[in-house]
């Protein structure tokens, strides 16, 4: 059966796993990441199945300005690479096959929710009238090979996923972002759904559960910041954490904090990458992870928060007053864009 968006979504709803798509050999695992041969195999297949002109447009040099210039903001809805809206049926099928190797079933559904918001905005008459859920691009950096360092990016408005691989070994999965506008959908085929749930709800619950003294310690500004700070070229801005440390939280609050971390770093990746990511964010001093907050905490009002650990920074900012337009980001402060292997 051909792999299409519809078939993948149906399989995800039925609890289908990606074990057959992402085989793992423990003997081949390296120190920096797990081995997932399906990603390279399906990237190569995707490039081979593209028309030559499209394949050329999808390819870039690893580590070049395009690689460093990730951008999920809406100033330009046409991201580098080849977009779904430009593909024929066979090419689109190959792109979907690649996404099912790259993401867990839950991650695929999450990406679809973000993409469909472009159709929602078009139906609402917001922004460019021709915006659509096919305006998301694949870009391949370098040449996928058994020993080569190369990169894969899937990007569009409010969605960016940058993976660095060394052969079949996934050595970096950041920057990554699932963002949204609107978060609560009121029109279209997905009316009644919420694009991002845990990223907002867990953070609001955590801040609300802190004692007044710890809330004061966590709060870094009286008003919520209206955007993230760690965009392209400024990924390492927050080297020194601020806010309240996990060490000062009770166990239930620490559990909320780590569930929030996993929403950014773990849940959308397939096994064994998810397990590697779960271990990665916990490598440092877990008690020293900090939670910083700006503004108040009333549902439907702006929020901003930041999570800082020894090897990660995560941010969320509400761009609008009603907290429907949310920007998020996750960086691995040592490995983002594969900088540790030459990215």
Same domain, residue pair 106 and 247: no
Position 343 scores a pLDDT of 82
Q: By residue range, what is the domain housing residue 24?
A: 5-178
Same domain, residue pair 12 and 109: yes
Per-residue confidence band for 21, with pLDDT thresholds at 50, 70 and 90: very low
Same domain, residue pair 69 and 127: yes
| 260 falls within a domain | yes
Q: What is the mean pLDDT of residues 11-26?
A: 38
| 255 falls within a domain | yes
| 191 falls within a domain | no
Per-residue confidence band for 24, with pLDDT thresholds at 50, 70 and 90: very low
* pTM score of the predicted model: 0.92
Same domain, residue pair 287 and 224: yes
Position 14 scores a pLDDT of 47
Same domain, residue pair 102 and 210: no
Same domain, residue pair 105 and 249: no
Same domain, residue pair 110 and 62: yes
Per residue, the 3-state secondary structure of 74-103, as one string, reads CCCCCCCCEEHHHCCHHHHHHHHHHHHHHC
| 189 falls within a domain | no
Cα three-residue angle 321-157-182, rounded to 5 degrees: 35
The tally of domains found in the chain comes to 2
What is the per-residue pLDDT across 112-146, written as a single tens digit (0 to 9) for each?
Answer: 999 999 999 999 999 989 999 999 999 999 999 99
| 186 falls within a domain | no
Same domain, residue pair 51 and 120: yes
Same domain, residue pair 27 and 155: yes
Same domain, residue pair 156 and 38: yes
What is the per-residue pLDDT across 48-61, written as a single tens digit (0 to 9) for each?
Answer: 999 999 999 999 99
Same domain, residue pair 226 and 143: no
Q: What are phi and psi of 44, to 5 degrees?
A: -65, -45
| 342 falls within a domain | no
Alpha-carbon dihedral sign for residues 278, 280, 286, 290: negative
Query: What tokens were used for 92?
Result: 């689109």
Strands (E), 264-338: 290-294, 304-308, 312-318, 326-332
Same domain, residue pair 61 and 157: yes
Q: How many secondary structure helices (H) and strands (E) does the chain include?
A: 10, 13
Position 61 scores a pLDDT of 98
Rg (CA), the chain: 19
């Amino acid at each position: 059966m051909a792999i299409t968006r519809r078939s993948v979504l149906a399989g995800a709803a039925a609890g289908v796993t990606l074990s057959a798509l992402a085989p793992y050999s423990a003997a081949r695992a390296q120190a920096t990441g797990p081995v997932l041969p399906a990603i390279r195999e399906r990237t190569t297949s995707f490039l081979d199945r593209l028309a030559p002109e499209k394949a050329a447009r999808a390819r870039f040099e690893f580590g070049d300005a395009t690689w460093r210039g990730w951008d999920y903001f809406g100033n330009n809805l046409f991201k580098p690479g080849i977009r779904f809206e430009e593909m024929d049926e066979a090419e689109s099928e190959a792109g979907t096959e690649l996404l099912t190797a790259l993401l867990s079933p839950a991650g695929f559904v999450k990406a679809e929710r973000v993409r469909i918001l472009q159709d929602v905005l078009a139906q609402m008459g917001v922004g460019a009238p021709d915006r659509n859920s096919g305006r998301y691009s694949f870009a391949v950096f370098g040449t996928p090979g058994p020993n080569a360092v190369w990169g894969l990016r899937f990007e569009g408005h409010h969605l960016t996923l940058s993976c660095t691989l060394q052969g079949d070994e996934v050595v970096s999965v950041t920057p990554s972002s699932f963002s949204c506008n609107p978060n609560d959908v009121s029109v279209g085929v997905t009316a009644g759904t919420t694009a991002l749930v845990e990223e907002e709800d867990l953070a609001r619950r955590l801040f609300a559960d802190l004692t007044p003294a710890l809330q004061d310690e966590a709060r870094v500004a009286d008003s919520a910041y209206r955007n993230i700070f760690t965009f392209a070229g400024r990924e390492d801005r927050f080297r020194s954490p601020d806010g309240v440390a996990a060490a000062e939280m009770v166990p239930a609050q620490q559990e909320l904090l780590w569930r929030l971390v996993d929403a950014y770093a773990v849940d959308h990746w397939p096994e064994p990458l998810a397990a590697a990511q779960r271990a990665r964010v916990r490598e440092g001093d877990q008690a020293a992870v900090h939670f910083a907050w700006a503004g108040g905490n009333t549902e439907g009002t702006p929020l901003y928060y930041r999570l800082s650990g020894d090897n990660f920074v995560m941010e969320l900012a509400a761009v609008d007053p009603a907290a429907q337009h949310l920007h998020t980001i996750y960086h691995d402060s040592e490995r983002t864009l594969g900088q540790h292997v030459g990215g």
